[in-house]
Amino acid sequence: MSADRLLLGGFLAVLLVLPAVLSPYYITLLNYIGLYAMVALGLVLLTGVGGLTSFGQAAFVGLGAYTTAALTTAAELPGWLAWVGASPWLTLVAGLLITATVALVLGSLTLKLSGHFLPLGTIAWGISLYFLFGTMESLGGHTGITGIPPIELFGWTLDEGGEIYYLIWAFLLVAMLTTHNLLDSREGRAIRALKGGRVMAEAMGVDTSRARMIIFIIAALHACAAGWLYAHMQRFVNPTPFGVHIGIEYLFMAVLGGAGYVWGAIVGAGVITVLKQWLQDWLPQLLGASGNFEMIVFGILMVLVLHRAREGLWPILKKLVPVPAVRKKIDDAAAPLPRRTLPAAGEPILVAKNVTRKFGGLVANNDMSLEVRAGEILALIGPNGAGKSTMFNQISGVDTPTSGEVLFLGKPVAGHDSREIARMGMSRSFQHVKLLPTMSVLENVAIGAHLRSGKGVLSSAWRLDRAEEARILKEAAWQIERVGLKDFMYEEAGSLALGQQRILEIARALCADPCLLLLDEPAAGLRLKEKQALGELLRKLRSEGMATLIVEHDMDFVMGLVDRVVVMEFGQKIAEGLPDEIQKNPAVLEAYLGGVE
């Protein structure tokens, strides 16, 4: 048994026996820690992994709590609704549905905007809901709702702290397990790309707006379930625990524990809950006044954590118990992913016709035309500032020409987002390498196969995606081997040299099974050996029928490698032809070396 399994088993065993040895006070404390950790876990996914945040999680907790409180205590429900009030388990479903709907609406309002609109929206929405709970007569106003029945499970009535303890921690552990599974899957890689890799992920076909929505809803559902448990544990609800300031506390838990780590949720919830108990006893005595003075300490503590240990406590704790990382196994028996049929050699794949792009007074591209044919390497070269990158953006659909058009496999590129273009079979690398530095080379490359697979969040959470996952990893491993990075497969991508990172980008693009490869300055900053290796790889790909467009500055790299060359200067084409012709072209020499009489 591996060390991490052993630790986990020990933790579970301790959890199991704790109610037998602890006093009710500590069991209640553990119940709260479990509930808070569940909310914080949602924030781990949202904030630590996805780079978004919400101060309104307490309002989602409130939705779960109030839904079940209102439905299970209502004297008479309208006939069509009556069956829901019959059991807390049904009201849990009702609460989850309501929460998902609200999160969906709120998410669709804010998630397309830049990341700070979501937290601001959640503050406003958290306040609204808090006031709503407090003013609606049917929800008991500020006094709240009492007489909530306990949960029953297989005939047991969970009306003691030591009983519901098991349900709370079972919920939490399931939530942690499914979150952990989700992050280690196709959808999980997409989610992990949200923080700092959105542009790259979109180019690999990931719908990042949808991925943001998914984690926002999952976080809301975790909060809602915690609210449901809370209502049936307390047996009454009032608005106080669902205000924005409690929502802020949840975020503090996630950040303090380690917002990027599933286990950080428990650590954060534990530390904050225990600290709060202690400070609430101690601070009013010290200060000689009563009030929530622990907030002063929490606020300052949070600033210190963000200044000194932004990753939170979990990574620090983890260092104390070194557990070796488990490598992913590549299943050689897995079936290969489906491949697309490449167009016949010589057939035009990409055609740019009279592309002009103006930015205000600047004409970045002027009447540019070029053609890439199947099975050839075309180089687009020119001095710095010639407009190559702008042209690249027109071709890859990142930007839309002012006039003229770009056709890919006969279809116009303009008007399609980078996801659709990736689906059409164009795959690209970036001039400034875009990869997820803390993920392994294998996982980085696997993102490329996003569109060639389809298992969703639920299958990932419950591990029903393993057959497809094995196929994806096998494909990624094969592409890594193909480009010659096999020895680095399990290294962190950020630890590779620049040249290897560029090669990694090509492997990732290949993993999408494209028929056209777009490479933006792949040789920039590479050492001679690395350039030679890259040239070797591109030749090999060509022999396998791949069409490639290289935008380059480095003439030497291009000349021995490509079939045809297009030269740009001042946004225009100044020459086109075979490498030998281009090398002797005086206009090209002039453009490159410059000249002032």
For the record, the structure tokens of 569 come out as: 């200067």
For the record, the structure tokens of 248 come out as: 């802020």
Which of 455, 553 has the CB closer to another protein? 553
User: How far is 237 from 228, CA to CA, in rounded Å?
Assistant: 10
Select the residue interacting with another protein from 57, 110, 181, 365 (CB under 8 A): 110
Q: Going by C-beta distance under 8 Å and a sequence separation of 6 or more, which residues neighbour residue 56?
A: 121, 122, 123, 125, 126, 129, 244, 247
Which of 77, 301 has the CB closer to another protein? 301
Q: Which of residues 515-534 bind another protein (CB under 8 A)?
A: 521, 524-527
For the record, the structure tokens of 556 come out as: 């030497």
As measured in angstroms, the least distance from the Cβ of 82 to another protein is 29
Stretch that binds another protein, among 202-210, 320-328, 453-461, 475-483 (CB under 8 A): 202-210
As measured in angstroms, the least distance from the Cβ of 552 to another protein is 9
Select the residue interacting with another protein from 5, 180, 210, 245 (CB under 8 A): 245
199 scored as a contact of another protein (CB under 8 A): yes
As measured in angstroms, the least distance from the Cβ of 364 to another protein is 9
Which of 310, 411 has the CB closer to another protein? 310
473 scored as a contact of another protein (CB under 8 A): no
Select the residue interacting with another protein from 34, 64, 88, 121 (CB under 8 A): 121
Q: Which DSSP state fits 440? A: B
Select the residue interacting with another protein from 28, 209, 234, 356 (CB under 8 A): 209
As measured in angstroms, the least distance from the Cβ of 492 to another protein is 9
As measured in angstroms, the least distance from the Cβ of 557 to another protein is 7
Which of 334, 433 has the CB closer to another protein? 433
310 scored as a contact of another protein (CB under 8 A): yes
Select the residue interacting with another protein from 101, 108, 146, 354 (CB under 8 A): 108
Which of 150, 577 has the CB closer to another protein? 577
User: How far is 551 from 565, CA to CA, in rounded Å?
Assistant: 10
CA separation (Å) from 499 to 476, 491, 529, 549?
Answer: 19, 15, 9, 19
Q: Which of residues 538-557 bind another protein (CB under 8 A)?
A: 553-557
Select the residue interacting with another protein from 19, 42, 51, 260 (CB under 8 A): 51
Select the residue interacting with another protein from 3, 7, 170, 497 (CB under 8 A): 497
Residue located via tokens 């492997």: 507
User: How far is 5 from 180, CA to CA, in rounded Å?
Assistant: 14
Which of 107, 448 has the CB closer to another protein? 107
578 scored as a contact of another protein (CB under 8 A): no
383 scored as a contact of another protein (CB under 8 A): yes
Choose among 158, 144, 124: nearest CA to 54: 124
Pattern 416-445, another protein, x by CB under 8 A: -xx------------------x--------
Q: Which of residues 54-73 bind another protein (CB under 8 A)?
A: 55
Select the residue interacting with another protein from 100, 293, 358, 409 (CB under 8 A): 293
- DSSP H stretches of helix in 111-234: 117-135, 161-183, 186-192, 198-203, 208-234
Which of 13, 498 has the CB closer to another protein? 498
Strand partners, 565: 379, 577
User: How far is 289 from 145, CA to CA, in rounded Å?
Assistant: 31
Please check whether residue 212 is in contact with residue 111, taking contact to mean a CB–CB distance below 8 angstroms: yes
As measured in angstroms, the least distance from the Cβ of 221 to another protein is 21
Q: Going by C-beta distance under 8 Å and a sequence separation of 6 or more, which residues neighbour residue 493?
A: 435, 436, 437, 438, 439, 440, 441, 444, 501, 504
Residue 420 burial (C-beta neighbours within 10 Å; 0-12, 13-18, 19+): middle
356 — phi, psi (to 5°)? -125, 135
213 scored as a contact of another protein (CB under 8 A): no
Residue located via tokens 């209102």: 70
Choose among 237, 191, 250, 215: nearest CA to 95: 237
385 scored as a contact of another protein (CB under 8 A): yes
463 scored as a contact of another protein (CB under 8 A): no
As measured in angstroms, the least distance from the Cβ of 305 to another protein is 9
For the record, the structure tokens of 550 come out as: 């290289």
CA separation (Å) from 100 to 105, 181, 228, 440, 457?
Answer: 9, 21, 14, 33, 15
CA separation (Å) from 381 to 333, 384, 515, 595?
Answer: 43, 9, 22, 18
Select the residue interacting with another protein from 346, 360, 410, 415 (CB under 8 A): 360
Length of the chain: 597
Select the residue interacting with another protein from 3, 81, 86, 113 (CB under 8 A): 113
Select the residue interacting with another protein from 9, 10, 24, 299 (CB under 8 A): 299
Which of 98, 123 has the CB closer to another protein? 123
Helix (H) or strand (E) segment spanning residue 268? helix 264-287
Please check whether residue 163 is in contact with residue 268, taking contact to mean a CB–CB distance below 8 angstroms: no
171 scored as a contact of another protein (CB under 8 A): no
